[in-house]
Amino acid sequence: MHLHILGICGTFMGSLALLAREQGHHVSGSDANVYPPMSTQLEAAGIALMEGFSADHLAPRPDLVVIGNALSRGNPEVEAVLDAGLPYVSGPQWLAERVLPGRRVLAVAGTHGKTTTASLTAWLLESAGLSPGFLIGGVPRNFDISARLGAPGAPFVVEADEYDTAFFDKRSKFVHYRPEIAILGNLEFDHADIFPDLAAIERQFHHLVRTVPGKGRLLVADKEPALERVLAQGCWTPVSRIGEAADSPWRFVLEREDASRFRVIHREGEVEEDAVVDWALTGDYNARNALAALAAAHACGVDLARGCAALARFETPRRRQEVRGEVAGIQVIDDFAHHPTAIAATLAGLRAATARGRLLAVIEPRSNTMRLGTLRDRLAESVACADAAYWYQPAGLDWSLAPVIEAAPVPGWKYDDLEALVAALVAEARPHDRIVVMSNGGFGGIHERLLAALEVAHG
């Protein structure tokens, strides 16, 4: 079958393309923006990529068109699909119908940490010899690929996004997946372009809860009021709380302040077991992510001690605290954080792990929610753990970053020219500094530009 995918370089749609290719389908696709790491993954898999959207991309005529949620009516290729009467589906529907039947599905949901937690879960299952399938909205470095089918009948881990499905299906993606085990890691307001308020997102999370069978398991973060409101709407599945509360059956206790070492305690009835995680990641939020993954893997039969030991070999997914390079002792880190809560958590984790030098934050407010300015009042405080913040005002951001910079507790500067931003960072950086770049897009290849410029200046 020839599948043609619209929006193929999105993290979800690109991963879906890899699964279709692994099933033996001929896969092609179009997208407006083609950039690594997804573009390189797809090209390596022999998938033809076409820049932009055009009716010409539909020749030869595909058997099925899979349409991503970034595409809407008025897009020339969407209009051509409809006019030609081509069969089409959404990505989540295709996944649910063509990959997930007969699999034990583990869904990872939450406002933050989905990619890391899904990667952790897949790695724990892999390290236990279960050869899981997975579809993750990033590239887990333990696998170097964002999706695979895994062994027939093996568990399947899916990053379960609450964003809507397609222009013709406004339900959240995750209602398609029908998981047996669902992680609800956290919940706060996001996606202001499609949700009017937090209550609307809670309703979608409850739709997910409704799909989990009674024989399954809900792993729900403690101390999350929004998630408690979700469960209060109705729950028919056993719930295990995860977090730091003393009465949670899955909890962790830090043994190092930066969360690079912590103890996991699991209590089930009268039986209690514990084991220590000593790993390369930092930050309380990553300890929470690991705890959720351990609980999910344990539900699939993975021994706690074995799982904790495997975390020592876990590598962060690409674009999650990923060290892109180091020049003259100056480290450049790439991180996907784009919500104030995620920015603050990322910087707090890096601050705790930075013994020498300064932490310089570089932020591009690029997401749809950021462009609308919905959370801009929280941006200033989000950089409190940095020594300085460099703000980039991308095209299409209709509000000024100047008030954010003025209100921030650390020095800050605004740029709308990428070359000027790189030059300022190079002039300021000195040995032992860590430059953390936070954006949910390609950011004009700033990481490569910055490393090249640092090499010229300090190499």
DSSP summary character for residue 328: T
**Residue 144's pLDDT band (boundaries 50, 70, 90)?**
confident
Its sign, for the CA torsion 262, 143, 298, 214, is: positive
Note the pLDDT tens digit of each residue in 15-53.
999 999 999 999 999 999 776 667 887 888 889 899 999
Q: Facing residues of 267 across strands?
A: 272
Mean residue pLDDT of the chain comes to: 89
Token pair in block for residue 105? 């599905």
Token pair in block for residue 426? 């190079």
Least confident of 24-38, 120-134, 249-263, 440-454: 440-454
Three-class SS of residue 232?
Answer: helix
User: Is residue 91 over pLDDT 70?
Assistant: yes
User: What stretch(es) of the chain map to CATH 3.40.1190.10?
Assistant: 100-313
CB atoms within 10 A of CB 124: 26
User: What stretch(es) of the chain map to CATH 3.90.190.20?
Assistant: 322-458
User: Residue 114 annotated as binding?
Assistant: yes
CB atoms within 10 A of CB 427: 9
User: Residue 40 annotated as binding?
Assistant: no
User: What stretch(es) of the chain map to CATH 3.40.50.720?
Assistant: 2-90
Residues 6+ apart with CB under 8 A from 89: 64, 65, 66, 67, 97
Name the nearest CA neighbour of 121 among 103, 142, 100, 99. Answer: 142
Distance in angstroms between the alpha carbons of the first and the last residue of the chain = 51
Token pair in block for residue 264? 């996991």
Average pLDDT, integer, range 95-111:
96
Least confident of 153-157, 198-202, 407-411: 407-411
* Residue 227 parent element (H or E): helix 225-232
Asked if 418 and 412 count as a contact pair (C-beta separation under 8 A), the reply is: no
> Does the structural domain 322-458 have CATH classification 3.90.190.20?
yes
User: Residue 85 annotated as binding?
Assistant: no
**pLDDT at residue 284 in the model:** 87
User: Residue 112 annotated as binding?
Assistant: yes
Length of the chain: 459
**pLDDT at residue 438 in the model:** 82
Question: Residue 26: what are its φ and ψ, rounded to 5°?
Answer: -80, 125
Write down the CATH superfamily of domain 2-90: NAD(P)-binding Rossmann-like Domain (3.40.50.720)
Asked if 163 and 341 count as a contact pair (C-beta separation under 8 A), the reply is: no
**pLDDT at residue 271 in the model:** 86
Q: Please name the fold of domain 100-313.
A: UDP-N-acetylmuramoyl-L-alanine:D-glutamate ligase (3.40.1190)
User: Residue 29 annotated as binding?
Assistant: no
